[in-house]
Structure 1
Amino acid sequence: MTANRSASLKDLRSVIRNCPVIDNHAHNLLLPSQLDAYPFESITTEAQGPALKDTFTSLSHMRAAKQLRELYGCNADDDWDHVLEKRTEWLDHRRDELHRRCLEGIQTILVDDGLGSAEHVHPYDWHSQYTTSSCKRIVRIETVAETLLEEMLENATEDDIASEEYMAGTWIGFTEAFESEILRALHNPEVVGFKSVICYRTGLNIEPDYEECVVKVGPSFGHYVARCVDRGNYRISRKALNDFLVLQTLEIISIRAADNDSLSKPIQFHTGLGDADLKLVRSNPAEMQGLIEQYPLVPFVLLHSSYPYTREAGYLASVYMNVYLDLGEVFPMLSKDGQASIIRQALELSPYSKLLFSTDGHFFPETYWLATKQFREVLEEVAVEYVVKDVLTIPQAIELGKAILFTNSNLLYDLNLSLTVPSSDVSSSQQSLTHNPKPNPSSSDYSTSSLESFIENNPSTKYIYLQWLDYMGTLRARILPIVEFIHIVESGSGIGISRGNTGTLQNDTVTPAVNTTGQLYVEPDLSTLRKTHAKDPLPSASVMGFWRDEDGKAIKECPRGGLQLLLDELKSEHNISLIIGFEIEVTFLHRTDPSSADTDRYTPLATNHAWGTLTPEQVYDALPLLAEITEALSDMGIEVQQFHAESGPGQYEFVLPPLPGLEAIDTLVQARQVVHQIAHTHSLRATLHPMPLPGVGTAAHAHVSLSSVEKKAVPETKEMAFWVTGVLRHLEAVCAFSLPEAVSYDRVIDNSWTGGTWVAWGTQNREVPLRRVQPGRWELRCMDGMANIYLALAAVIGAGLLGLRAREGAELSAKDCPHNPSKLSDDQRKEYGIKRRMPKSIEEALDALEKDEELKHVLAESLIEDYVAMKKVEQKMLADMEEGKRRTWLIERY
């Protein structure tokens, strides 16, 4: 994609959705009295008779049925019979409106009126009342010939047939009359082209030599006349005679073109797809190569995408100036994937200036509507894909859309129409008769423009990791090609996953939280869209997602979405916003022989190591890795404020910048991912395990600052109500999220700067779980890297909200403790309001969470129930493991 562009993807989509179309090939609609003479389900298939019953299981029918429910205003689960009933209501009471809507957006129709007798269909010009410009005729040459012969042979007898003089006169009279009709059509401004269905009759292997054809046609004509008189059937289906009609037409219009020194009126040929009346192997347009070469002044239009011979047709359109490919009938006869493949195949070789749009609409107005709707959808998808892949610039893609939909046919058929593209973002011709859909909030101009800006600045991005953190802190992802991701954003949808997937463990073990019924949708939050690091195996970007229900509404059980709801409440109800700064404490380990003893299975990256040191071992073994990670994060827009050695062997810390609540956690998740992945490229395991090696404790401290929405200091009464009355009061339950594993509690010890074992707070006190750094800024010390940080912070904020609701301005029972609580006596601790111990195990924390009715209510009771159920199954699974295997299992996952 070019950086300097005058149009956006939104402009491209708008043009394709709203550009008036010239339908270069279609047929008449049925008279009302004839509607029941043809099965309506035939609109998506060429099958007839007994084969028609199977069309209901085709992808093309099922897609069309869904769209017809939209058109008629049916319920989404209405079956086909209900669709037909609804259609009948429209035909009985609002037929004109149905016709008008189905043909809306069509500038003009070039009508081949040779399908269906005049007693069954409306005349071609009747359709002009529903189009912007008058409709024109395409003359079917076989119908001309058959009509002439029926008139000439009306009174013929068997004696006439036996007379050579009669047969010779009939032949001469027929050829003269046929030539006269073709010439009349050439001069008729209502006729813009011709058509042959020789593909149906005898195939496309047409004799290219006119003189050779004339020699062969005599006996064939005699047999044809005899059959007509004997049976009254005037259908021409003898090869020599059918070939002659095509060649005679080509001769006449070619001579006319030569006289005017210009191309003639085009001739359309049915190619490829058709009902069982044709022989598929004889419908390949490659059979026509010699014929095309013989008449270079006659434009050949290969109809119906020549499916399944689209590539052959594209080749002919690319090497012969006078060949054009119509992209019709496969809409709506094929699946959506098949349709996209057809457009891609056509564009593989054929210039887009040779491609034409048509509906092949016939009999039923819905055929026009479905074809136009589906063609716009698929053309938009392919055009956007080519822009994203840097195959086309946006202006080029816009011109491609206009050319195929309008300009090419306008020039080829010499229609002299003016093109005006409405500015409306959604064409009314794509809407239903009864419903104007409301735009989805996720498809806002902001979302669209931010995505376009990202694509423009990162043109090499081909894939998107759509990610979410599950209850167990496992990062889940779906990988989407960029084109599909754009479609999801533009449509305001998400990727559907079973609700049951939210109830499985890290290794997909099923828990009681699994519900096999129901669906949720992961919707990308474009504010989190970042390119991945240079060593990612895919040219990609990552984006975090929200869980949404089927109506697009937020799900409170979503870890990320639930946190956002609490942040919104904190802001709207209490005028408080949060700024959070995270430290990534990580230990880099070498993997040794898996068969070695547990204590030797991992060795640290550096052993000559202490807090804040840079020993030669660290400088040469660790520092290049740390710098590579920091530079990769910087390239992604994550600026590390500092990094340094922590106290444990192989343990380092990256300090991330303080950011608004949700953004800070999103950044943490994406940054950790980079740390893990780049370490892996160096054959190292980067782990957040709270005790990866004996004596090495790893935390995930969060610095949380409260400020008013106006960026002013929060009153101390609110600050204390939030942290002390709220968070401290519910801290045991909060630990179920912030210290989520049995091994997490190996760090809940005294005299180790890990937060201690008492529920307390203190200014600049590292032996309490809540450290007040300065007014308005607090450090949560009782959290490690195994936590789902969204859930952990949601629990903190939920507890803080409870404190604001209950105790704002009240006297605090817990006071600022300047000492190590473990060094105080019981009476001294009582002076500071220190009465409770931190949980000693995950089981104690889960028990506290289950009993904390207030916190359960402010979060979501169903979330708590599922989380507790999953943790119990997980802890049983881990407890059943041998200790060494358990440690390895956790190190490799966190």
Structure 2
Amino acid sequence: MAPLTERELSLLRDRIYSAPLVDGHTRSLVDHQTSSIPFLCGFEETEGHVRETPIHTLSFKRGLREIASHYGCNPSLKSIEAHRQAFTLERLYFKCLESSNMSAVLIDDSLPLDKTCSFDWHKSVFPNAFRILQIETLTENVFKEVVGNRDKCTFDDFVDRFMSTLKEYSKQVVALKSMAGYHGALDIDPQVAKSEAENAFKRCIQPCASICNAEKCLSDYIFLCGLKVATECGLPLQVHTGFTKRGSDLVLINPLHLCPVLEDQQFTKSRLVLLHASYPFLKEAAYLSNQYPQVYLDFGLAVTKFSFKGLFSAVNELLETAPLNKILFSTDAYAFPEAIFLGIKWAREVLLQVLQCTCASGDLYFDEALEAASDILGGNANNLYQLSHAPNDTLNQVSKETDPSSTNNHKTGVKYVRLLWSDSSGQRRCRVVPKERFEKVVKTHGVGLTTCCMGMSSHVDGPAKDCGLNAVGEIRILPDSESKWIIPWSLEEELTLVDMHMTPGSPWEYCPRSTLKRLSAVLQAEFGLVMKAGFESEFYILKPDPESLKWVGLDNSSYCSSLSFDAASDLLFEISAALSLMDVNVQQLHAEAGCGQYEISLNYEPCLKAADDVLILRETVKALVQRRRLLATFLPKLFPNDIGSGSHVHVSLWAGDKNVFQGDSSEASHYGISKIGQEFLAGVFHHLPSILAFTAPLPNSYDRIKPQTWSGAHYCWGRENREAPLRTSCPPGTDLGVVSNFELKSFDGCANPHLGLAAILAAGIDGMRRHMKLSEPIDNDPSLVEESLKLLPTSLDQSTRELEQNSVLKQLIGTSLVKCIIAVRQSEIEFYKKEGDVARMLAERY
């Protein structure tokens, strides 16, 4: 087999570094500023004392350099310790998790260290923290309770209390854990006699005795009791194997000693996780996972013990035999967050090298390596520990319960705020400010921006001729406090939409959001109505073709093809999840008819939120696809011989909770539409040629709007007619013959959604003010209608001329803003008629 191509290697690297990660086993952190635990203990897992040996190991020397690089200090132990003391534990923790994409962490909080942080503290800084219960710790606690009266204490009392307490705690944890391989041996006898264990217990309750040093028969019996509870409760049992304490008999910690337990009938449904991959018995552990369905492997702890070459060899050895769906990642971090940082960093680096080699050797296909990366880093743990059903209720690092507007940076980790807007040409633009400055200044006073920002076209960052704006003057972009979310793919950033003001409190007449707000207020004041809208956004996902050096469709399947959906399902689900976290409600996802074309439909919302939502959708799709080294584009006509992409919008009118666009049984209702709905739609129909200058803003837009392409080329409307630019719709749940909304198909993904909806709203208001009459619908293909139907404008030049002559829209939307838009459109016309194929440039911008 040939090695991976440069592109394949890049995609594999992206998958490994972006895959949600589950840290399957770690220890509690300590407050480094007050604890007596030396920093070096984090490299040793010793209880408060440290040997000199670690500082001479390759892993320590490399770790020190990488921690120093991450902190931006000198690569010396003294410098790092000084840096650590200057920051709180929360700050260090968030710094060490920076860009980790860690989605969940499982914590064993049983180890009593000086100034150990509680489990509640861990959950407060990382909501997706889950607890592991160590059965030996519970054994000691129950023993202390039961033996208060040594004369009356019985073994049965102890066992009953232990089992009942363990079952109760099992409701609050995702796994149990045994230290059998650390304290003693793994040659556990599944048939150990109760009488032997009872005699050993009696010796433990004698004065000066302790259950911590119990005889092997009693330790075995307790282990088996714990395994029974874990099996009954459906919990995995993590077993400490490998890396045992000094003085232990290494022969007895070979995991093959567990075979009698694994073969016992009462434990065939158990699930055991061998921690630390049983080092130095890696092959034996891999063999067990291969032969026994109950056995899983965790390759944690070796991270701080091995050189990079040693780590590579260890993980590579595991993959020689162990099933890929049974290998789990953990940092096994101890006391300090730097161990988490190193564990995540090195595991990803090693996994990249190992999977690259497995592909080169022919053991895995490229797509299998991608799947293995996701599974090993998080997917296997999610399935094994059933984290989607765990007590935390969520796997998202940014919980819905977390208030994204919170100013507590220590808890959210937010460092920057992205201020997002869309200009006259429909391009998304942003400014980014540090969170601290946002809270102190920007939230109230905004950020300065040149006035010509709304006069720029798609091809040049300068004001269009005659737009009325130039380099002189400045406005303020002010954040909308109700539209601020943590960015799911950039957890150190918040995103907020902005309004444009001359001075804070004085909306600028060129502002798209302010214009839509103003017209919405007119609709409410004059008619008591709210316009709601929902977008169906089509886009292409493209991959680079190494032969032609061009972008090509991700696949070549057909409309609603399940094969096409599968080709991008993980990416589409990631997009959907990210949108959900930003309060954007996805209704449907499916493959469209173009090669690599997809559609995401959003829920209908009040028109301002609908426009905001589609802007966020475009931002999300472009960003998450780009992270995969692919390209997403909403360009209306990307390929001359393939289907175009629209951003169809469904519109309805509401009075409170009632859809008043919808008709009823009264005589005033026609075509399933209410009287006021007919007037609104008639207004939109009347002004439709001019509206296209807002909803189809590029010359490329008109390459899409052609007859018999379901894009709405003819000047007509129809009932459930997908060839008409305006289609009344009867979705599921609507009474037969009654419509709930109308769809405008001549709206594309290059349009500013706020300006597009503002134009529709202005036209509808004019229709209601003048009580316009709706023409007869066209209920078949407009191309086949006998009487000649006019076409809508077939070029941006035509729709712009229509807008120039439309005094009503100018007055309602704003004369200065419309003048600016016309100038920008004319600039587009002049530029693109001189240029050749500009689809590639536009595909990257839109």
Superposition TM-score, scaled by structure 2 size: 0.48
Superposition TM-score, scaled by structure 1 size: 0.46
